[in-house]
């Protein structure tokens, strides 16, 4: 098609040489990105998914596809961190985030049911549907005792949800940390205790209502996170563990999570130059 040809031509003209174009949602972009860790090959994203968290982080989610492609020839390459999570599943990189608790278990249940609770015929309603499921479960989801170390500091406790984020968005475009940066060399770790249920419920309700969320959740920044917890589902981006084949009973699990700074390179639109101020007129002396 004409559009495919335009994509091919634009990639050939990208500054710096070889690049990858990825058309799809976060799952597709994440799969490609994990294969390009540390290879310094720029990734050009054409956001065609439901949430488009990665594209939102890059500031390109709302740009028309034709304009994105046309802008590749002058696009800038920006660094993008990656997380590395080691546990019973082995070692896995993540682009968006890693989590234990409410969101991870909700993802696991949806995965096992094949998404039966979600409106498959109306993609635009999937995000609100997932948000509503989370909202309905906040008040009665049990807190889990976790032994947690962040950069060597003990932050253990009973948590309803713990999320280590590389970007500000996870899952159904849930904006948990508005100040999160994907290239600052840090993880933003969100801790939700039993006493914080109302804050999380308000956060989700605001997103459901299209309101701007306020940063009231407890967030700590760090580069090295260690967790021990009684066996329960976790998520690594959109991947859940354990799978059916991994359901070996474990008394507890130990997880080691680190940030891998500037592990990836993405293309983003050229920054707009600020408009120059008109020069002040010099009054002539009489």
Residue-by-residue DSSP string for 71-123: HGGGPEEEEEEEEEEEETTEEEEESSEEEEEHHHHHHHHHHHHTSTTS-TT-G
Cβ neighbour number for residue 223 with a 10 Å cutoff: 15
3-state secondary structure of 171: coil
- What pLDDT score was predicted for residue 251? 57
- What pLDDT score was predicted for residue 125? 85
3-state secondary structure of 67: helix
d(CA 173, CA 16): 32
**Given the structure tokens 């999320």, which residue do they identify?**
163
pTM of the model: 0.86
3-state secondary structure of 163: strand
30-82 tens-digit pLDDT: 999 999 999 999 999 999 999 999 999 999 999 999 999 999 888 899 999 99
Are 102 and 190 contacting, i.e. CB atoms less than 8 angstroms apart? no
- What pLDDT score was predicted for residue 260? 98
97-108 tens-digit pLDDT: 999 999 999 999
Are 97 and 167 contacting, i.e. CB atoms less than 8 angstroms apart? yes
- What pLDDT score was predicted for residue 212? 78
d(CA 154, CA 96): 24
Q: How far is CA 258 from CA 97, 133, 159, 266, in A?
A: 11, 30, 20, 21
Q: What single DSSP character describes residue 125?
A: G
Q: Please list the ranges in the chain whose pLDDT falls under 70.
A: 1-18, 116, 120-121, 123, 215, 244-252, 272-286
Are 189 and 150 contacting, i.e. CB atoms less than 8 angstroms apart? yes
- What pLDDT score was predicted for residue 112? 82
Are 217 and 200 contacting, i.e. CB atoms less than 8 angstroms apart? yes
């Amino acid at each position: 098609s004409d559009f495919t040809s335009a994509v091919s031509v634009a990639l050939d003209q990208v500054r710096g040489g070889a690049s990858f174009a990825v058309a799809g949602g976060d799952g597709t972009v994440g799969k490609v990105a994990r294969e390009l860790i540390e290879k310094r090959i720029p990734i050009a994203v054409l956001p065609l998914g439901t949430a488009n968290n990665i594209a939102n982080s890059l500031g390109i989610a709302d740009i028309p596809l034709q304009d994105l492609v046309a802008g590749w020839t002058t696009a800038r390459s920006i660094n993008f961190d990656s997380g590395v999570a080691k546990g019973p599943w082995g070692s896995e990189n993540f682009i968006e985030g890693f989590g234990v608790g409410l969101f991870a278990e909700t993802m696991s249940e949806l995965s096992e049911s094949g998404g039966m609770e979600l409106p498959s015929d109306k993609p635009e309603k999937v995000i609100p549907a997932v948000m509503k499921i989370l909202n309905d479960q906040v008040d009665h989801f049990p807190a889990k005792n976790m032994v947690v170390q962040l950069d060597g500091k003990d932050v253990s406790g009973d948590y309803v949800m713990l999320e280590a984020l590389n970007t500000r968005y996870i899952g159904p475009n849930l904006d948990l940390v508005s100040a999160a940066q994907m290239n600052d060399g840090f993880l933003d770790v969100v801790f939700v205790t039993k006493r914080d249920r109302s804050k999380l419920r308000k956060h989700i309700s605001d997103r459901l209502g299209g309101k701007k969320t306020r940063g009231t959740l407890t967030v700590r920044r760090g580069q090295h996170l260690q967790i021990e917890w009684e066996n329960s589902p976790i998520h690594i981006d959109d991947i859940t563990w354990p799978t059916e084949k991994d359901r070996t009973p474990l008394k507890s699990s130990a997880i080691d999570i680190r940030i891998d700074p500037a592990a990836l390179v993405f293309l983003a639109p050229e920054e707009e130059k600020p408009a120059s101020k008109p020069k002040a007129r010099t009054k002539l002396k009489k």
